[in-house]
């Protein structure tokens, strides 16, 4: 067994170091070695205090999530270590840096004193994996910070910074530098003054009535168990029991709830999403030591909403940006949007005024594209006009410095063509950001046939640097997300023509878990934007020979119903509030009659969900068959981070396996026979159809 826990003695203090890269996860080997080390130190006559610290980038960041799939957690359970810490006669100090999370924070709570460096953050994020703290967190945390703070931390799963942790009593001291030396000094003083342990589990605890009432209100406001609230509800219920049950009994109840949650579909989906996001960053057959191109400066062509949002994404990561546009008016508007965005962040105390000023100062605007010539990465973010984009890539091929990476933010156009226009195709790829680009984390990285491996690797690494979740897509219309969206929107419009209303469709899909239904989504993104994409597809001959295909969005567009920004689209808007609009329903009726909807009928929410989601999922199978996506998990990452797919369902491809591929294929067969399949809308991809034979 590798040596993961070592000890160094300084005077009367023993410093225990855990070294289990990359995040010092609490594996069985770590637990075995840590427990035996603590037992030895307790016996040591020349030791009066202990410090537990971690090597590398962070204090223990949690249990090893891969152990969740084991039938039983390999001994010793973290609770055994924590019970031993409770029994020790010598004070133990946790010295924390990085992100102390989950079992790492539970270990620290079982220590007797807690110190940290100024940049440290703390959390119990277990609910984000569909479980609850399973090693005493629900019982020790309230004893330290009170019921309210504990319920908020545990049910939200968010990290708190060292300053807040100090203020709440979670930690005892923050050191600006030299954590190791300061923690040692802290322990030496404990030893020197013969200060004994402070054992949280021995602390009697009873929250006052007001705190209990708050906790119960918090519980009632959580989503239902089958809509992402299962683990959160158990986490809060376990926390509320702190002080109401004898400590050991409460630990057993916590463990019971943890095991209950661990085996749910919600938890399996969330754990899948966690690892899928990290796997998506890995490019198959890419040598681990692939050289990356340096990216120290970024140029963006096009200062519209997308270009401005992209500029802020880079400024947020500390990278200087030159934002270029031919129109001075556009540049002025962009400058205003940048300033107002950061002013709002300061007002909401998301960042200091100084930090906002730093980021604003990183973005320079210009109308002269030659100023981009020295940039390491240049992103084209003009509107979706292919001829203009081609001209820009020809220009970039002339002015950009050798070795610069050239990217297009296009949401659907053929990046291979842009690459060839540039005259340096190996340097070109797509970077499809999602609006608002400085907030949405998804980045579809589109690899052209000619993109050089180091260019792809560089951009995948850069994505992490700008806090984006990247997934690689091959070149096809709509890449991964928008291509799968087609069937979803097609069926939405057919359902409208058959008698469903926008609110019925949206509520059916939002009730199923989507963050926003299709009609509200298009109204918000712009009916005109959606209609232009359909018209562009029809012009390029990419649509089925079916005049009724997405005819509704075209009719709304023709009538100036551009969506929320125009006050009406699929809905009428009172402020930002969507309201059913008789004149829109009339358009749906007209189109239904014109395209042969003999009689409008009552449609169930289940039919809406199946009619919209199954073609979306089927397209995902085709995307995998064609090699457009490397893995099914990459497709899930796209939908979880770019389209509001419910995380507790794991993404469309994970959901397909959990609901059963046979169920989906059989439903598609039913729709094909009930509705006809003249245009292949209900064709079942081969890799999905095999479920029918199995
Ligand atoms: N278990 C196993 N592997 C983990 C891991 C974990 N807890 N955390 C990270 N990894 C892997 C990750 O898959 C990746 O692997 C590598 O480490 C770097 O991670 C009993 C039961 C700590 C903020 O939920 O939030 O404790 O892709 O790319 O961006 O109550 O990792 O390189 O092969 O994310 O710097 C609670 C989960 C567990 C924390 C670092 N803890 N991790 O982010 O690196 S449940 C968590 C994170 C628990 C107890 C319960 C982040 C990070 P690879 P990374 P990062």
Q: pLDDT class for 601, splitting at 50, 70, 90?
A: confident
Pull the structure tokens for residue 453. 């491996």
Contacts for 70 with CB less than 8 Å, ≥ 6 apart: none
User: Are 253 and 109 contained in the same domain?
Assistant: yes
In this predicted structure, the answer to whether residue 148 has a pLDDT above a threshold of 90 is yes
User: Are 94 and 225 contained in the same domain?
Assistant: yes
Domain for residue 236, yes or no?
Answer: yes
Is residue 610 a contact partner of residue 253, using CB atoms and an 8 Å limit? no
pLDDT over 90 for what percent of the chain? 91
Nearest to 103 by CA among 49, 70, 145, 54: 54
Contacts for 244 with CB less than 8 Å, ≥ 6 apart: 206, 250
In this predicted structure, the answer to whether residue 600 has a pLDDT above a threshold of 80 is no
pLDDT over 70 for what percent of the chain? 100
Q: What is the mean pLDDT of residues 189-217?
A: 92
> Per-residue pLDDT tens for 560-574?
999 999 999 999 999
Q: pLDDT class for 56, splitting at 50, 70, 90?
A: very high
**Pocket test residue of 29, 62, 102, 469 for ligand 1, highest count of atoms within 8 A of CB:** 62
Respond yes or no on whether the N-terminal peptide bond of residue 76 is cis (omega within 30° of 0): yes
> Per-residue pLDDT tens for 426-441?
999 999 999 899 999 9
Q: What is the mean pLDDT of residues 70-80?
A: 92
User: Are 99 and 242 contained in the same domain?
Assistant: yes
Instruction: Please list the residues that pair with 572 across neighbouring strands.
Output: 568, 579
pLDDT at 45: 86
* Ligand 1 atom having least distance to the Cα of 133: 30
CA 61 to ligand 1 center in whole angstroms: 6
Q: pLDDT class for 540, splitting at 50, 70, 90?
A: confident
Domain for residue 649, yes or no?
Answer: no
Is residue 218 a contact partner of residue 152, using CB atoms and an 8 Å limit? yes
Measure the CA–CA gap between 425 and 121, rounded to whole angstroms.
43
DSSP letter (8 states) at residue 409: -
| Cα–Cα separations (whole angstroms), residue 414 to 157, 299, 429, 453 | 41, 21, 10, 19
> Considering only CA atoms, which residue is closest to atom 29 of ligand 1?
464
CA 144 to ligand 1 center in whole angstroms: 25
CA 672 to ligand 1 center in whole angstroms: 44
> Considering only CA atoms, which residue is closest to atom 41 of ligand 1?
62
Q: What is the mean pLDDT of residues 590-619?
A: 92
- Indicate the number of domains in the chain: 3
* Ligand 1 atom having least distance to the Cα of 61: 22
Domain for residue 280, yes or no?
Answer: no
| Cα–Cα separations (whole angstroms), residue 33 to 28, 77, 97, 106, 449 | 9, 12, 21, 17, 50
Q: Which of 473, 505, 523 is the last residue of a domain?
A: 473
Domain for residue 524, yes or no?
Answer: yes
CB count in 10 Å sphere of residue 558: 10
Name all residues whose Cβ lies below 6 A of ligand 1: 22-23, 25, 61-66, 78, 99, 101-103, 106, 125-126, 129, 131, 133-135, 137, 278
**Pocket test residue of 20, 21, 23 for ligand 1, highest count of atoms within 8 A of CB:** 23
> If DSSP codes are grouped into helix, strand and coil, which group holds residue 323?
strand
Give one DSSP letter per residue of 45-105, joined into a string: TT--EEEEEE-TT-S---B-GGGGGSSSPPSSPHHHHHHHHHH-SS-EEEEE-SEEETHHH
User: Are 98 and 135 contained in the same domain?
Assistant: yes
CA 284 to ligand 1 center in whole angstroms: 21
C-alpha gyration radius of the chain: 28
> Per-residue pLDDT tens for 297-309?
999 999 999 999 9
> Per-residue pLDDT tens for 544-562?
999 999 999 999 999 999 9
Q: What sign does the CA torsion over 571, 572, 578, 580 have?
A: negative
Is residue 316 a contact partner of residue 438, using CB atoms and an 8 Å limit? yes
Give 290 or 451, the one with higher predicted confidence: 451
pLDDT at 288: 76
pLDDT at 211: 93
Edge to edge, what strands does the sheet with 5-10 contain? Answer: 5-10, 13-18, 49-54, 92-96, 113-117, 173-175
Q: pLDDT class for 206, splitting at 50, 70, 90?
A: confident
pLDDT at 597: 80
* Ligand 1 atom having least distance to the Cα of 281: 27
Alpha helices in 198-246 (DSSP H): 209-221, 230-240
Edge to edge, what strands does the sheet with 160-161 contain? Answer: 99-101, 121-123, 160-161
Nearest to 446 by CA among 420, 413, 421: 413
In this predicted structure, the answer to whether residue 598 has a pLDDT above a threshold of 80 is no
Q: pLDDT class for 322, splitting at 50, 70, 90?
A: very high
* Ligand 1 atom having least distance to the Cα of 134: 30
In terms of Cβ atoms closer than 10 Å to its own Cβ (0-12, 13-18, 19+), residue 242 is: buried
Angle formed by the axes of helices 502-512 and 481-497, nearest 10°: 130
pLDDT at 7: 97
User: Are 309 and 441 contained in the same domain?
Assistant: yes
Q: What is the mean pLDDT of residues 593-602?
A: 82
CA 628 to ligand 1 center in whole angstroms: 28
Domain for residue 46, yes or no?
Answer: yes
User: Are 319 and 189 contained in the same domain?
Assistant: no
Looking up residue 337, the CATH number of its domain turns out to be 3.40.50.720
Looking up residue 174, the CATH number of its domain turns out to be 3.90.226.10
In this predicted structure, the answer to whether residue 208 has a pLDDT above a threshold of 90 is no
Domain for residue 284, yes or no?
Answer: no
What residues are labeled active site?
106, 126
**Pocket test residue of 56, 61, 271, 470 for ligand 1, highest count of atoms within 8 A of CB:** 61
> Residue 103, Cα to own-chain centre: how many angstroms?
22
Give 286 or 117, the one with higher predicted confidence: 117
Q: Which of 262, 282, 307 is the last residue of a domain?
A: 262
Q: pLDDT class for 278, splitting at 50, 70, 90?
A: very high
User: Are 92 and 159 contained in the same domain?
Assistant: yes
pTM exceeds 0.85: yes
* Ligand 1 atom having least distance to the Cα of 58: 22
Q: pLDDT class for 127, splitting at 50, 70, 90?
A: very high
User: Are 305 and 444 contained in the same domain?
Assistant: yes
> Per-residue pLDDT tens for 475-511?
999 999 999 999 999 999 999 999 999 999 999 999 9
CA 272 to ligand 1 center in whole angstroms: 13
Structural domain including 559 reads: 481-627+660-693
User: Are 133 and 256 contained in the same domain?
Assistant: yes
pLDDT at 71: 86
> Considering only CA atoms, which residue is closest to atom 15 of ligand 1?
278
Q: What is the mean pLDDT of the chain?
A: 96
Domain for residue 636, yes or no?
Answer: no
| Cα–Cα separations (whole angstroms), residue 388 to 368, 381, 424, 433, 530 | 17, 11, 18, 19, 19
Q: For 643-673, b where at least 16 C-beta lie within 10 A, e where not — what string?
A: bbbbbbbbbbbbbbeebebeebbebbeebbe
In this predicted structure, the answer to whether residue 107 has a pLDDT above a threshold of 80 is yes
Domain for residue 27, yes or no?
Answer: yes
Q: pLDDT class for 286, splitting at 50, 70, 90?
A: confident
Looking up residue 593, the CATH number of its domain turns out to be 1.10.1040.50
DSSP letter (8 states) at residue 115: E
Nearest to 170 by CA among 145, 197, 207, 146: 145
> Per-residue pLDDT tens for 457-478?
999 999 999 999 999 999 999 9
> Residue 522, Cα to own-chain centre: how many angstroms?
22
CA 63 to ligand 1 center in whole angstroms: 8
User: Are 304 and 223 contained in the same domain?
Assistant: no
Nearest to 375 by CA among 438, 457, 264, 300: 300
User: Are 495 and 350 contained in the same domain?
Assistant: no
* Ligand 1 atom having least distance to the Cα of 22: 17
**Pocket test residue of 25, 29, 65 for ligand 1, highest count of atoms within 8 A of CB:** 65
In this predicted structure, the answer to whether residue 694 has a pLDDT above a threshold of 80 is no
Respond yes or no on whether the N-terminal peptide bond of residue 22 is cis (omega within 30° of 0): yes
> Considering only CA atoms, which residue is closest to atom 30 of ligand 1?
133
User: Are 423 and 511 contained in the same domain?
Assistant: no
What phi and psi values does residue 165 have, to the nearest 5 degrees? -65, -40
Q: Which of 456, 473, 490 is the last residue of a domain?
A: 473
């Amino acid at each position: 067994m590798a040596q993961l826990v070592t000890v160094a003695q300084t005077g009367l203090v023993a410093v225990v170091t855990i070294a289990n890269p990359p995040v010092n996860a609490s594996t069985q080997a770590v637990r075995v070695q840590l427990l035996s080390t603590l037992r030895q130190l307790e016996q040591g006559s020349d030791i009066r205090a202990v410090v537990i610290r971690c090597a590398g980038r962070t204090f223990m960041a949690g249990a090893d999530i891969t152990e969740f799939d084991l039938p039983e957690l390999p001994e010793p359970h973290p609770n055994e270590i924590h019970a031993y810490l409770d029994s020790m006669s010598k004070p133990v100090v946790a010295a924390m840096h990085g992100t102390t999370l989950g079992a790492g924070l539970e270990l620290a709570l079982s220590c007797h004193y807690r110190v940290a460096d100024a940049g440290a953050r703390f959390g119990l994020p277990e609910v984000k994996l569909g479980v609850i703290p399973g090693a005493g967190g629900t019982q020790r945390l309230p004893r330290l910070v009170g019921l309210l703070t504990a319920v908020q931390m545990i049910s939200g799963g968010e990290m708190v910074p060292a300053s807040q942790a100090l203020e709440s009593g979670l930690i005892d001291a923050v050191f600006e530098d030299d954590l190791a030396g300061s923690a040692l000094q802290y322990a030496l003083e404990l030893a020197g003054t013969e200060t004994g342990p402070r054992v949280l589990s021995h602390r009697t605890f009873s929250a006052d009535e007001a705190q209990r009432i708050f906790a119960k209100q918090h519980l009632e406001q959580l989503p239902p168990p089958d809509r992402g609230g299962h683990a959160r509800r158990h986490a809060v219920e376990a926390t509320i029991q702190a002080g109401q049950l004898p400590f050991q009994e409460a630990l057993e109840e916590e463990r019971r709830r943890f095991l209950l949650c661990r085996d749910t579909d919600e938890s399996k989906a969330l754990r899948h999403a966690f690892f899928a996001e990290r796997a998506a960053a890995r490019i198959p057959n890419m040598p681990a030591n692939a050289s990356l191109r340096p990216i120290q400066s970024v140029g963006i062509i096009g200062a519209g909403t997308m270009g401005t949002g992209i500029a802020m994404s880079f400024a947020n990561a500390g990278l200087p940006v030159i934002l270029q546009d031919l129109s001075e008016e556009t540049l002025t508007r962009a400058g205003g949007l940048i300033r107002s965005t950061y002013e709002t962040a300061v007002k909401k105390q998301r960042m200091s005024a100084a930090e906002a000023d730093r980021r604003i100062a990183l973005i320079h605007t210009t109308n002269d594209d030659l100023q981009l010539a020295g940039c390491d990465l240049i992103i084209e973010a003009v509107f979706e006009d292919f001829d203009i984009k081609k001209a820009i890539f020809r220009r970039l091929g002339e002015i950009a410095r050798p070795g610069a990476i050239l990217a297009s933010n296009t949401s659907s156009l053929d990046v291979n063509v842009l690459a060839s226009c540039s005259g340096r195709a190996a340097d070109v790829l797509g970077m499809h950001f999602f609006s608002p680009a400085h907030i949405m984390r998804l980045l579809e990285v589109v690899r052209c046939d000619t993109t050089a491996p180091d260019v792809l690797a560089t951009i995948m690494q850069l994505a992490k640097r700008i806090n984006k979740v990247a997934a690689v897509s091959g070149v096809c219309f709509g890449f991964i997300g928008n291509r799968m969206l087609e069937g979803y929107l097609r069926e939405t419009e057919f359902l409208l023509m058959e008698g469903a209303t926008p609110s019925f469709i949206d509520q059916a899909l939002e009730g199923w878990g989507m963050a926003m239904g299709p009609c509200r989504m298009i109204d918000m993104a712009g009916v005109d934007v959606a209609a232009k994409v359909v018209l562009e597809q029809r012009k390029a001959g990419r649509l089925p020979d079916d005049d009724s295909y997405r005819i509704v969005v075209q009719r709304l567009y023709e009538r100036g119903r551009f969506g929320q920004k125009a006050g009406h689209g699929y809905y009428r808007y009172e402020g930002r509030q969507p309201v059913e609009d008789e004149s829109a329903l009339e358009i749906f009726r007209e189109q239904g009659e014109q395209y042969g909807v003999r009689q409008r009928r009552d449609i169930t929410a289940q039919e809406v969900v199946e009619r919209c989601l199954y073609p979306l999922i089927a397209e995902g199978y085709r995307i995998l068959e064609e090699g457009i996506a490397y893995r099914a998990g990459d497709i899930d990452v796209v939908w979880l981070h770019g389209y509001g797919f419910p995380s507790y369902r794991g993404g469309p491809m994970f959901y397909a396996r959990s609901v059963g591929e046979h169920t989906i294929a059989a439903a598609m067969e039913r729709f094909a026979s009930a509705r006809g399949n003249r245009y292949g809308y209900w064709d079942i991809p081969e890799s999905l159809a095999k479920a029918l034979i199995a």
